[in-house]
Amino acid sequence: MTRDKTMPADAVVARLTSGMTLGIGGWGSRRKPMALVRALLRSDLTDFTVVSYGGPDVGLLAAAGKIRRLVTAFGTLDSVPLEPHFCAARQRGDFELTELDEAMVMWGLTAAAHRLPFMPIRAGLGSDVMTVNPGLRTVTSPYEDGEELVAVPALRLDAALVHLNRVDAQGNGQYLGPDPYFDDLFCQAADAAYVSCERVVDTAELLKDQGPQSLLVKRAFVTGVVESPNGAHFTSCAPDYDRDEAFQRAYVRAAKDPEAWPAFAERFLSGDEHSYQTAVAAFHEESA
């Protein structure tokens, strides 16, 4: 067990190409791989199909014009119900949308992880999800019930980006918060998965204080490990830290004001991850 998969965030970006289908883990404004998203923002890569339970990951990539198609059920910041960049980009018609129910997204990822073409689900029938996705098909049960259900197509990903609390250098990933979200599914549905984390630890340390159920992602599904403390900021990464509500509010204010956004982006997003974290610390000192 000597394969060291650790790499800097920019090395992850170097392995991606424009036009790829990217799955992004977390949920809304919870445990998003924001440091990896910020690395994408610094790159020239574009034209992505993004599959996400949408939060500021979607908002920032949309604001930067990097999304060609979005596959999602929503865009939210949790404590702020609507993701402002997601809303604005939709209203401008900046990207194509595959709008699915959140259970359909889970089933699409599950089908991809199981190498199945689709999974059957009741959700979607009767709703306009069927209208706005004319490619969606139904399937009839071959058993006596004869039920007609939606066949959610597999959401196979070129790459997955997720953020966890602890990972060893080989890619065994551990979550310490209350919800795994769908991060393991994202990794299994992808040809390559990149896991950022709060801390890279020795394998022996993973279960020092935790049960084996906390081991969410297996190294066989992981291509790269990025140590990125505070890397989910400003989303939550319990129990390491909660959502930075003050910063999220500042993000929302700037995102809602086309004249304020360039200054916000310049202040926080023009440099590397270190300068981002430094600018965030300065932001809190100012408002303290």
Partner 1 sequence: MNTITATRAEYSVVACAEAWRDAGEILASPMGTVPSIGARLAKLTFSPDLLLTDGEALLMGDVPALGAPSGVTEGWLPYRQHLALVASGRRHVMMGASQLDRYGNQNISCIGDWDRPKRQLLGVRGAPVNTLNNPTSYWVPRHSTRVFVEKVDMVSGVGYDRAAAAGPSATRYHRIPEVISDLGVFDFETPDRTMRLRSLHPGVTVGQVQEATGFALTIPDDVPYTRAPTAEELRLIRDVIDPKGLREREVPSA
Site residues for partner 1 per CB under 8 A: 27, 54, 72-76, 81-82, 86-88, 90-91, 93, 99-104, 106, 121-129, 131-132, 147-149, 178-182
Closest separation between CB of residue 36 and partner 1, Å?
21
Closest separation between CB of residue 97 and partner 1, Å?
8
Query: Which residues touch 202 (CB under 8 Å, ≥6 apart)?
Result: 168
Choice between 20 and 103, CB closer to partner 1: 103
The total of other beta-carbon atoms located within 10 Å of residue 205's CB is 14
Closest separation between CB of residue 179 and partner 1, Å?
4
* Phi and psi angles of residue 199, each rounded to the nearest 5 degrees, phi first: -155, 135
Find where tokens 């007609």 sit.
Answer: 148
Closest separation between CB of residue 170 and partner 1, Å?
25
Choice between 59 and 231, CB closer to partner 1: 59
Strand partners, 24: 52, 161
Choice between 42 and 218, CB closer to partner 1: 218
Instruction: Compute the chain's Rg from CA coordinates.
Output: 19
Choice between 42 and 68, CB closer to partner 1: 68
Closest separation between CB of residue 51 and partner 1, Å?
14
Closest separation between CB of residue 182 and partner 1, Å?
7
* Phi and psi angles of residue 287, each rounded to the nearest 5 degrees, phi first: -90, 0
Choice between 33 and 124, CB closer to partner 1: 124
Choice between 115 and 122, CB closer to partner 1: 122
Q: Which among 228, 172, 229 is positioned nearest to 204, based on CA atoms?
A: 172
Assess contact for 62 and 94: CB atoms under 8 A. yes
Instruction: Calculate the alpha carbon distances from 264 to 72, 252, 261, 283 in Å.
Output: 26, 10, 5, 11
Closest separation between CB of residue 128 and partner 1, Å?
4
**3-class SS of residue 161:** strand
Q: Are strands 148-153 and 137-140 parallel, antiparallel or unpaired?
A: antiparallel
Choice between 17 and 65, CB closer to partner 1: 65
Closest separation between CB of residue 183 and partner 1, Å?
11
Choice between 100 and 159, CB closer to partner 1: 100
Q: Which among 229, 30, 189, 41 is positioned nearest to 16, based on CA atoms?
A: 41
What letters, b where the CB count within 10 A reaches 16 and e where it falls short, cover 42-77? beebeebbbbbbbbbbbbbbbbbebbbebbbbbbbb
d(CA 232, CA 240): 10
